[in-house]
Chains A and B, each alone.
Chain A
Amino acid sequence: MIELSNIEKHYGSYHALRDVTCHIKEGEFFSLLGPSGSGKTTLLRTIAGFEGIDSGSVVIGGQSMAGVPPNKRPTNMVFQSYAIFPHMSVAQNVAYGLRAQRLGKTRTTEMVTEALGKVGLAGYGERAAHALSGGQRQRVALARALILKPKVLLLDEPLSALDRKLREEMQSELRHLQRSLGITFVLVTHDQEEALTMSDRVAVMFEGEIAQLDTPQALYKRPASKRVAEFFGAMNILKAEILGLKGGIVTTRIEGLGVAEIPLGPEADTHGGNKYCAGVRPELMTVLDDGESAYPKENPAIVTDVEYRGELTYYDVKFDGSDTPVVVSMRNTTNREIKEVGQKVRIGWENASAVLLLEQT
Chain B
Amino acid sequence: MRQMQLDPDARRGLSLISIPFAFSILLLAAPLMILLAMSVWTQDFLTLDRTPTLDNFVEAWTDPIYRTLMLRSLKISIIVTLVTVCLAYPAAYYMSFVAPNNRKALLIFLITIPFWTSYLMRIFLWKVILGFNGVINGSLMGLGLIDQPLDFILYNQLAVVVTLSHAWLPFAVLPIFVVMEKVNRAYLEAAQDLGDTPFWRFIRITLPLSMPGVVAATLIVFVPTIGDYVTPKLVGGPSGLMIANMIEVQFKNANNAPLGAALALSALLLVTSVAGIFVWLNRRYLTSEGAA
Q: State which of B184, B189, B193, B291 has its C-beta within 8 Å of the C-beta of A129.
A: B291
Mark out the residues of chain B between 257 and 292 whose CB falls within 8 Å of any chain A CB in the assembled complex: 285, 288-292
State whether A144 and B189 are in contact (beta carbons under 8 Å apart), knowing that A84-B291, A86-B209, A87-B288 are contacts in the complex: no
- Asked if residues A148 and B195 are in contact (CB atoms below 8 Å), the reply is yes
Closest approach, in angstroms, between the C-beta of B101 and any C-beta of chain A?
A: 13
- Asked if residues A48 and B193 are in contact (CB atoms below 8 Å), the reply is yes
Determine if B194 is an interface residue (Cβ-Cβ < 8 Å).
yes
Closest approach, in angstroms, between the C-beta of B204 and any C-beta of chain A?
A: 8
- Asked if residues A81 and B184 are in contact (CB atoms below 8 Å), the reply is yes
A99 CA to B205 CA, complexed, in Å: 13
Determine if B135 is an interface residue (Cβ-Cβ < 8 Å).
no
Question: How large, as a class, is the contact surface on chain A?
Answer: 20 to 34
Determine if B186 is an interface residue (Cβ-Cβ < 8 Å).
yes
Q: Which residues of A contact B289 (CB under 8 A)?
A: 86-87
- Asked if residues B288 and A129 are in contact (CB atoms below 8 Å), the reply is yes
**CB-CB contacts of B190-220 with A at 8 A, as 1s and 0s?**
1111111100100011001100000000000
Question: How large, as a class, is the contact surface on chain B?
Answer: 20 to 34
- Asked if residues B290 and A144 are in contact (CB atoms below 8 Å), the reply is no
- Asked if residues A99 and B190 are in contact (CB atoms below 8 Å), the reply is no
- Asked if residues B291 and A130 are in contact (CB atoms below 8 Å), the reply is yes
- Asked if residues B189 and A85 are in contact (CB atoms below 8 Å), the reply is no
Q: State which of B194, B197, B204, B290 has its C-beta within 8 Å of the C-beta of A86.
A: B290
A130 CA to B187 CA, complexed, in Å: 14
Determine if A128 is an interface residue (Cβ-Cβ < 8 Å).
yes
Determine if A69 is an interface residue (Cβ-Cβ < 8 Å).
yes
A114 CA to B191 CA, complexed, in Å: 21
Closest approach, in angstroms, between the C-beta of A85 and any C-beta of chain B?
A: 6
Closest approach, in angstroms, between the C-beta of A71 and any C-beta of chain B?
A: 5
Q: State which of A48, A50, A71 has its C-beta within 8 Å of the C-beta of B197.
A: A71
- Asked if residues B189 and A50 are in contact (CB atoms below 8 Å), the reply is yes
- Asked if residues B189 and A70 are in contact (CB atoms below 8 Å), the reply is yes
A310 CA to B192 CA, complexed, in Å: 50
A109 CA to B292 CA, complexed, in Å: 26
Mark out the residues of chain A between 54 and 106 whose CB falls within 8 Å of any chain B CB in the assembled complex: 69-71, 75-77, 79-81, 83-88, 96-97, 99-100
A135 CA to B291 CA, complexed, in Å: 14
Interface of A (DSSP majority class): mixed
A128 CA to B291 CA, complexed, in Å: 10
State whether A96 and B291 are in contact (beta carbons under 8 Å apart), knowing that A81-B184, A81-B186, A83-B189 are contacts in the complex: no
Q: Which residues of A contact B189 (CB under 8 A)?
A: 50, 70, 77, 79, 83
Q: Which residues of B contact A76 (CB under 8 A)?
A: 193-194
State whether A83 and B195 are in contact (beta carbons under 8 Å apart), knowing that A128-B288, A129-B291, A130-B288 are contacts in the complex: no
A23 CA to B191 CA, complexed, in Å: 28
State whether A83 and B288 are in contact (beta carbons under 8 Å apart), knowing that A97-B195, A99-B200, A100-B195 are contacts in the complex: no
Q: State which of A69, A129, A130, A148 has its C-beta within 8 Å of the C-beta of B194.
A: A148
Closest approach, in angstroms, between the C-beta of A50 and any C-beta of chain B?
A: 6
A121 CA to B290 CA, complexed, in Å: 22
Closest approach, in angstroms, between the C-beta of A256 and any C-beta of chain B?
A: 50
A70 CA to B290 CA, complexed, in Å: 28
Q: Which residues of A contact B193 (CB under 8 A)?
A: 48, 50, 70-71, 75-77, 145
- Asked if residues A79 and B291 are in contact (CB atoms below 8 Å), the reply is no
Q: State which of B187, B194, B290 has its C-beta within 8 Å of the C-beta of A97.
A: B194
A83 CA to B205 CA, complexed, in Å: 11
Q: Which residues of A contact B292 (CB under 8 A)?
A: 81, 86
Closest approach, in angstroms, between the C-beta of A324 and any C-beta of chain B?
A: 46
- Asked if residues A144 and B288 are in contact (CB atoms below 8 Å), the reply is no
- Asked if residues B205 and A85 are in contact (CB atoms below 8 Å), the reply is yes
Closest approach, in angstroms, between the C-beta of B289 and any C-beta of chain A?
A: 6
A71 CA to B196 CA, complexed, in Å: 6
- Asked if residues A83 and B291 are in contact (CB atoms below 8 Å), the reply is no
Q: Which residues of B contact A99 (CB under 8 A)?
A: 195-196, 200, 204
A83 CA to B189 CA, complexed, in Å: 9
- Asked if residues B192 and A69 are in contact (CB atoms below 8 Å), the reply is yes
B289 nearest in chain A by CB position: A86
- Asked if residues A83 and B190 are in contact (CB atoms below 8 Å), the reply is yes
A71 CA to B204 CA, complexed, in Å: 15
A330 CA to B170 CA, complexed, in Å: 71
B185 nearest in chain A by CB position: A83
* Given A85-B187, A96-B194, 9 further pairs, Cβ under 8 A: A48-B193, A75-B193, A79-B190, A80-B186, A83-B186, A84-B291, A96-B191, A99-B196, A148-B195
Interchain Cβ contacts under 8 Å between A and B, 24 examples: A50-B193, A70-B189, A70-B192, A71-B192, A71-B193, A71-B196, A75-B193, A76-B193, A77-B193, A79-B186, A80-B186, A83-B187, A86-B289, A86-B290, A87-B285, A88-B288, A96-B191, A97-B194, A97-B195, A99-B196, A99-B200, A99-B204, A100-B195, A144-B190
What are the nearest 3 A-B pairs in CB distance?
A130-B291, A97-B194, A86-B291
